[in-house]
Amino acid sequence: MGAEQLGFEGMPRRLYPCTPSRLNTWLDCPRRYRMTYLDRPMPPKGPPWAHNSVGASVHNALAGWWKLPEPERTPAAAGTLLVRGWLTEGFRDEAQSAEWRERAREMVERYAAGLDPSDEPIGVERTVATRTDAIAVSGRIDRLDARGAELVVVDYKTGRHVLTSDDARGSLALAIYAVAASRVLRRPCHRVELHHLPSGEVAVWEHTDESLQRHIRRAEAIAAEASAADDAYRARVPAPRRAEGAAVDHAPWDELFPPRPGNLCAWCDFARHCPEGREAAPRKEPWAALPVEA
């Protein structure tokens, strides 16, 4: 074991296991982090979101498209996969679900028409992982391309907002994926791309080794805060376990896991358990993030 893995007492340093989602959840709201990753049983979540159903359906269709034999990778095949795997949760009614199924079918067919079926990706829905002195981080990449000697991280987006290069540059997840992919596959990876399927726009950022390391240091700093809170949570005299369906008592933990009420509370899965969040922003309808229908 290398010296960098040793703590002050010569004991192995415990790495903080995490994903980009876990780190970002801590940043967004420590209370939501606690309810998601520490409280057991987990408090019941609110109704599922329609925009998540759209996103997952599109991602699954595109992942399935690359698994087809090359001659079968046609735009129509992408649409067929979308229809077959359509997820219906969160929509107002069957009519709204059917309308969005058709929109999503057109979306993936248009996107697939711009792909080269013979340009085989290095990975699709590829899990990558890496370690530093402080964290063991893993995540799943939508698509990993090889362009020349370099790898390229591709992330599909289906939300209402068109993304920019600043979104690609600032994404902690994409930077972590790039570092992890490079280490796992032993090939350089600096370019990250956000493919916004509704608009067809691609937001690109070319990282440097230095900018990627800044993201890793940022991830380590976030992890240090979250890990300390995790340890304090586990070290306390255990509070009585909440019975399934009982109200969540935040008081014993708010010093460690304070709420961060704001506009994002309207989209929180745990809004029903958070008075501060409900006051800051009432929870949206499950289909509210879908673009306004014509």
Residues of the domain holding 101: 50-113
Q: Examine the fold and report which residue of 168, 193, 215 is the final residue of a domain before the chain moves on.
A: 215
User: What pLDDT was estimated at residue 8?
Assistant: 39
**pLDDT 10s digits, 248-259:** 788 889 999 999
User: What pLDDT was estimated at residue 11?
Assistant: 53
Q: Structural domain tally of the chain?
A: 2
Does 161 reside within a domain? yes
Whether residues 131 and 205 fall in one domain: yes
Q: Are 153 and 193 in contact (CB under 8 A)?
A: yes
Whether residues 135 and 182 fall in one domain: yes
Does 69 reside within a domain? yes
Does 277 reside within a domain? no
CB atoms within 10 A of CB 80: 17
| φ, ψ for residue 206, nearest 5 deg | -100, 105
Whether residues 82 and 100 fall in one domain: yes
Q: Examine the fold and report which residue of 215, 244, 267 is the final residue of a domain before the chain moves on.
A: 215
| Residue 237 banded pLDDT, cuts 50, 70, 90 | low
Whether residues 129 and 93 fall in one domain: no
Name the percent of the chain lying above pLDDT 70. Answer: 91
User: What pLDDT was estimated at residue 248?
Assistant: 79
Whether residues 143 and 195 fall in one domain: yes
At CA 119, angle to CA 103 and CA 151, rounded to 5?
A: 100
Name the percent of the chain lying above pLDDT 90. Answer: 86
Does 250 reside within a domain? no
User: What pLDDT was estimated at residue 116?
Assistant: 98
Whether residues 94 and 139 fall in one domain: no
**pLDDT 10s digits, 142-173:** 999 999 999 999 999 999 999 999 999 999 99
Amino acid (1-letter code) at residue 56 = A
pTM: 0.91
Does 34 reside within a domain? no
